[in-house]
Amino acid sequence: MLDARFMVALGLAVLILLGLGYFFYSLQPTLASDNLVEFKISRGESFRSIGARLSQKSLIKSISVFKLYSFLTGRATRFQPGIYELSYEMSVPEIVGNISAGGENEVQVVIPEGSTVKDIDYILSKAEVIEPGQVENYKIDSLDEDYVFLRHSFSEFSVDMSFLEGFLFPDTYRFHIDSDPEKIVRIMLDNFEEKVWNELKNRDNWYEDLILASYLEKEVPEYEDRRIVAGIIRKRLGSGIPLQIDATISYVKCDGGFLECDKSDIKVTNGDLDSVSSPFNTYKKMGWTPTPISNPGEKAIKAAINPKPSPYWYYLSAKETGDTIFSRTLQEHNLNRQRYL
């Protein structure tokens, strides 16, 4: 009986020693390599998911040991969202200490030229900079005292689109995860003020220039073509002819957001020209739309304020190449539509 008890105790001791050995072995770095690995923890990501991804990237030897160590040290619920630079030479204690202390918590976000406010909200929320809707639904009441270009009145129009449309300057930014939406908006407005406001502020109808630039950004890719189209649009406006900008109808059909919009809604059909009832329907309504339909970049704004005279009255974008095709007459335009669309 004594021998049996001794053997059981010895067996348990061996198991404990093996377990401890495995535990301490698994706390050690996985590789003798100082190569850095970018590791992002998303807002609300589960403890289990973090452990699994660390294992997939070969940053830890054992998910179970990672979890156990995290619980024993009281850090299992203290992991912070952010961007971390980890290496294979880091032990589990070093990794756990790193990701519970908070990472760089900053991401690089590219806002493409021609993005709408709704598109920008989508991009920022996907990057976890904001919660969905925080920029799209942001009110300008607290901003118009600081930004003179936000003081003009929209009272003559009844529209649901964001009054920030056109002013959130497209660029590459670095934002903190879970940022205050007002801080994000102010950074983008400051960029607009710095990059293009000096070009616009001394012009009599600068807001119309901004609206025109938003059309050019969505419809015409090349700078010189944009200048010609700017001339066409101004010439049509001065002659009492509807502007007939397809992108303005797409803007309505997509509810102000192109990134989440079905291609069938972005495409404008002949039926849309009459059925879309909106002040943004430039086939039915004369003159400018109430607001820009995108946030244009520097080149589009420069083209809008430097229109180029031409004999053309019509233009279209070739379906296959995206090239801008110009026409002098409606008959020529209709022939080009058959040929290029």
Predicted pLDDT of residue 155: 43
Range from 45-49, 120-124, 187-191 carrying the lowest mean pLDDT? 45-49
Instruction: Note the pLDDT tens digit of each residue in 206-233.
Output: 999 999 999 999 999 999 999 999 999 9
- For the chain, the farthest-separated pair of C-alpha atoms sits apart, in whole angstroms, at 111
Does residue 166 register a pLDDT over 90?
Answer: yes
**Confidence at residue 168, expressed as pLDDT on a 0 to 100 scale:** 97
State the pLDDT at residue 156.
Answer: 45
- Predicted local distance difference test score (pLDDT) of residue 152: 67
* pTM of the complete model: 0.78
| CA neighbor of 103 nearest in space, from 167, 178, 158, 49 | 178
Q: What pLDDT sits at residue 16?
A: 73
Mean pLDDT, rounded, for 151-168 = 68
Q: Residue 275 above 60 pLDDT?
A: yes
pLDDT at 159: 52
pLDDT tens per residue across span 42-90: 878 888 899 999 999 999 999 998 998 989 888 888 888 888 889 999 9
* pLDDT value of residue 19: 62
* Separation of alpha carbons 54 and 60, rounded Å: 6
Q: What is the mean pLDDT of the chain?
A: 89
- Is residue 193 over pLDDT 80? yes
pLDDT over 90 at 1, yes or no: no
pLDDT-based confidence at residue 35 (cuts at 50, 70, 90)? confident
pLDDT of residue 10: 63
User: 21-101 belongs to which CATH class?
Assistant: alpha beta
Partners of 174 in the β-ladder: 108
pLDDT at residue 157 is higher than 50:
no
In the predicted structure, residue 278 carries a pLDDT above the cut 90: yes
Extents of the domains making up the chain: 21-101, 108-310
Assess whether pLDDT exceeds 80 at residue 125. Answer: yes
Q: What's the pLDDT score for residue 264?
A: 86
Does pLDDT of 158 surpass 50?
no
Query: Is a pLDDT exceeding 80 seen at residue 23?
Result: no
User: Is 141 or 117 the better-scoring residue by pLDDT?
Assistant: 117
* Tens digit of each residue's pLDDT (9 = 90 or more) over 87-105: 999 999 999 988 888 777 7
